[in-house]
Amino acid sequence: MTVPRDWPTLQAIRFPKSNTLPMVLVPERCWQLIDATMASHLQVIFRAMYSCGLRGVDVRHLRPQDVDADRMMLRVCTTKGHRQREVPLPQATLDAFRAHWATHRNPNWLFPATQRNTPASKADQPISARTIQRGFTKVTESLGWQDSGLTPHTLRHSYATAMLDAGVNLKVLQGYLGHKNLQATEVYLHLTRLGDERARQIVAQIMNGDVAEQGLS
């Protein structure tokens, strides 16, 4: 039998947490998921999360005044760490916002909650996280996807990797995602589809002595 001992030194030891890479989807699958979403308001939400790299809390608390159509930017005010940021707003997402807001015209929320005996135009709360999660699960099940770790937040992760694959600067992406530390953004470098392929091309050109003749296009 082992007698319990109070070892202050052992209590001071902190084992590092295991860091697992986030689940991501390639753009083709993201759009497949969005197109397969039957509930129109959830389709707009999933489009916003993917095309603007939003967290669930970000999209839930979007207000009509956060949409800057003149500058084609989306202002994210209620976000993690209470830091405001702006992200580019694609035209298709702006059009989807306008069409959806026209269905309820709530002055406070772009995505108002569905409340019993209260019309969406007068809802005093935004859509719930549970509603978004349940809608996401429903559409992934309808597609027959069984990928481990799929959540609405996967759309934000997928946005980040798609931006890096397209050549968006890591520091710029940090600002779009609202990360306080660059390390949080750097994790997506391990998930890009094209980064490793491009690196191999560069290495091959340099080591083959082709730089002077071909250049790094």
**3-class secondary-structure state, position 34:** helix
80 catalytic residue (yes or no): yes
Catalytic-role residue among 29, 63, 75, 153: 153
- Is 159 catalytic? The answer is no
Closest to 131 measured CA to CA, from 50, 37, 12, 198: 37
Q: Among 50, 156, 157, 176, which one carries the catalytic annotation?
A: 156
Alpha carbon distance 194, 161 (integer Å):
10
CA distance 76 to 174: 14
The residue behind tokens 């694959």 is 165
Q: 156 catalytic, yes or no?
A: yes
188 catalytic, yes or no?
A: yes
Q: Check 41, 61, 157, 179 and give the catalytic one.
A: 179
Query: Residue 85's beta-bridge partner residues?
Result: 76
Pick the catalytic residue: 41, 55, 61, 85? 55
Catalytic residue among 71, 80, 98, 105: 80
**Is residue 25 within 8 Å of residue 158, measured between CB atoms?**
yes
- For this structure, is 153 an active site residue? yes
Instruction: State the catalytic residues.
Output: 55, 80, 153, 156, 179, 188
